[in-house]
Structure 1
Amino acid sequence: MTGGLCLRLARQGEEEAIVQFLDAHWEWKLPLVHVPEFFEFYYRPLGAAPQFALAEQGGRICAAAGFIRANACESPDIWASIWAADEAAPGAGMELMAALPRLANARFCAVNNIRKKVAGLYRFLGYDAGRLPHYYRLAAQSGHRVARVAAPRILPLPETGLALRRVPSAQALPGMFRLQPQLRPFKDYWYLSRRYFAYPFQSYDVWASETGGHLLCTRTVPVNGTNVLRVVDYVGEPGQFWLLGRAIDGLLRGAEAEYAECYCAGVAPEVMEKAGFCARGPKDEAVIPNYLTPPLYENTEYYYAAQPGGAVLMCKADGDQDRPNLPA
């Protein structure tokens, strides 16, 4: 209890009340809570109470914050997801978000794809916040149907590197990849298996380095008679991403894709460049579309926030991102 507010985790059976509150205090109906498969996958992965923190005043919900686990640990790393508050309860939303890591017993909390204007609120709460950098590598071909790059650059690849091996199943994952608990968020086998081998809407390809210390998750998207290779997750030492540059170029060619692209924070720009990836700045003339089905020929900026400390590594598919656009 703080200042007349009761801050607590949601209980089993409160799903309908949470959805009704979000419908009343969000600009539109959210597929994340109205599409049952989304709700179950993201907010009830353990089959019990929904993963929401609530602020109550006088027995009435006045703020709600959904969260998503990156692991099944007792003190998990989490991503904040949906966050809404009743304007009639000033400060309730901020108090709830400030308390979320404690309520969830979380070691670390981050949030992917926040609105730019909300970044200041997260900084006020002590988070680091900024733009999620965007990188791309063009295939060596005469023209491009999806990317719009007036002066194409194909950076040289590192002379050495590591081979990537396809991980055929969730069962094979522990034998091919060593967990990286030093990273924040820490993604365990439970999370990686669910997210990339049991996701109900999209299929992914999962790759482990020959040493077992790096994991790469990709998705090939057909568009305009060609393909785009999306690197949606990387789990490994941030400074070692360049070791996968040659192998990723091989995946690019194998997928017959016109380019590979990656949203990633935590890997230094010079490391991405060494891996053969060009940075797309927010004011670049190059257009690397984010929305591909159908293609929308404009750039999309993502912003994120993360509690400081440790090796923070944020990628496109973190939190509730890299999901299909479904009607609510």
Structure 2
Amino acid sequence: MSDLVLRLARPGEDARIADFINQNFDMRLPLINRADFYQFYYAHTPGAAPQFALAEQDGEILCAAGYILANQSETPDVWVSVWVAAKGHNGVGLELMDALSGLLNARVVACNNIRANTCVLYHFLGWQAERLPHYYRLGAPGAKGWQLAVPGPNSAPLPVQDDLPLTRVPDAAALAALGLPHSSHTPHKDLWYLQRRYFAYPHQRYDVWAVQEASALLAYAITRTITAAETGCIPVVRLVDFIGDDAVLPRIGGALDKLLHDAGAEYLDCYNAGIPAAVWAAAGLTERCEDDGIIIPNYLTPPLRQNTEYYYFTNQPDGFVLFKADGDQDRPNLPCD
């Protein structure tokens, strides 16, 4: 038996990788089996190698890990997406995960939405792996009362600063003209990434907002509104990404509250790791804890009136910040082709 080979995929290996994943995963994944998803996440450069790393022995794939670039630098930050090991080879899969930063010359390796029981595997590697915090701000109940959320005694909206407005960025060209704000967060998201993720995504419409003061760009906030037609009852606003320094968030609390009420939404919510709960509170959002009895539904089309807990990992926790739209998340639940 030859030595285990850990390597990046080569051009033309797409079908071989898809066959391996379909044979070794317990369901057919839309990310692999829908052409629009696969091309957007893993094969967006025609003729290039698909964005996968492989563990191979004697010509047989034992593990495949798909990854998504946050930027196009020579030392990129990446999100791991699909990760599948052949039965009996989970150890090989862990070896491949540990080797990924070296294979890609990556600075940060992270994953949004792992299974809770796999956190211990990443702890073994010395990485951070834990629950993804969830924050929310309630609107006003409609004539029918609360149709999606189940509030509690501490759910009343917190006071906010009406300091900085949000200005819509209409398209990718306008984003390029504005450039990038200062941010110490990782992963670093460059203009290439932001333009693709929020203006060229094949599904779902996003609203990109610039935060400016005296013509200086301070941050971007990205939201997505789920309409009453989609939920079947009442809108919801999602804050799915924020690029900027923590100190800017409290200053847009009033603007976020305005988005919430202008949409007639029952609540605005945000999944985030890395920004302290105190900063979110200063921006007007309350943390939902696992045992507080509050329900802020995540699945809305159709609505499922229960909480959803997400988990994540990162190999570099210093400065690390994660949002709902990072990696392969915040995508519609569509059937395979």
Match of 1:251 in 2: 259
Which one-letter code corresponds to 2:205 in the other structure?
A: S
Which segment drifts farther, 170-179 or 152-161? Answer: 152-161
Match of 1:51 in 2: 51
Q: Does the C-alpha gap of structure 1 residues 307 and 240 become closer, same or farther in structure 2, counting only changes over 3 Å?
A: farther
Secondary structure of the 1:172 match is helix
TM-score by length of 1: 0.95
Match of 1:146 in 2: 148
Are 1:229 and 2:237 counterparts? yes
Query: Which 4+ stretches in 1 moved above 4 angstroms?
Result: none
* Residue deviations 1:65-109 (CA, integer Å, cap 9, x gap): 000001111221100111111124462111101101111121111
Q: Does the C-alpha gap of structure 1 residues 121 and 291 become closer, same or farther in structure 2, counting only changes over 3 Å?
A: same
Match of 1:35 in 2: 34
* Residue deviations 1:235-267 (CA, integer Å, cap 9, x gap): 111343212111100111111111100001111
Alignment of 1:164-203 (within 5 A): 164-180=166-182, 182-203=184-205
Alignment of 1:6-155 (within 5 A): 6-47=5-46, 48-89=48-89, 91-141=91-141, 143-151=145-153, 153-155=155-157
Partners in 1 of 2:114 and 2:308 — Cα distance?
A: 12
Q: Which runs of 5+ in 2 are unaligned?
A: none
Which one-letter code corresponds to 1:187 in the other structure?
A: K
TM-score by length of 2: 0.93
Match of 1:213 in 2: 218
Equivalent residue for 1:308, pick from 301, 310, 316:
316
Partners in 1 of 2:151 and 2:115 — Cα distance?
A: 27
Which one-letter code corresponds to 1:37 in the other structure?
A: D
Match of 2:287 in 1: 279
Q: Which runs of 5+ in 1 are unaligned?
A: none
* Residue deviations 1:1-47 (CA, integer Å, cap 9, x gap): xx811110001111111011111111111110000000000012333
Percent identical residues:
48
Secondary structure of the 1:311 match is coil
Aligned residues: 326
* Residue deviations 1:281-307 (CA, integer Å, cap 9, x gap): 111211111100000011000001112
* Residue deviations 1:159-216 (CA, integer Å, cap 9, x gap): 3521110001111113335244632100000000000001001110010102312111
Partners in 2 of 1:253 and 1:158 — Cα distance?
A: 14
Partners in 2 of 1:158 and 1:221 — Cα distance?
A: 23
Whether the aligned pair in 2 keeps the contact of 1:238 and 1:313 (CA below 8 Å) is no
Q: Does the C-alpha gap of structure 1 residues 160 and 312 become closer, same or farther in structure 2, counting only changes over 3 Å?
A: same
Aligned-residue Cα RMSD (Å) equals: 1.6
Partners in 2 of 1:280 and 1:134 — Cα distance?
A: 6
Whether the aligned pair in 2 keeps the contact of 1:77 and 1:108 (CA below 8 Å) is yes
Partners in 2 of 1:179 and 1:72 — Cα distance?
A: 17
Which one-letter code corresponds to 1:18 in the other structure?
A: I
Whether the aligned pair in 2 keeps the contact of 1:55 and 1:63 (CA below 8 Å) is yes
Which one-letter code corresponds to 2:312 in the other structure?
A: Y
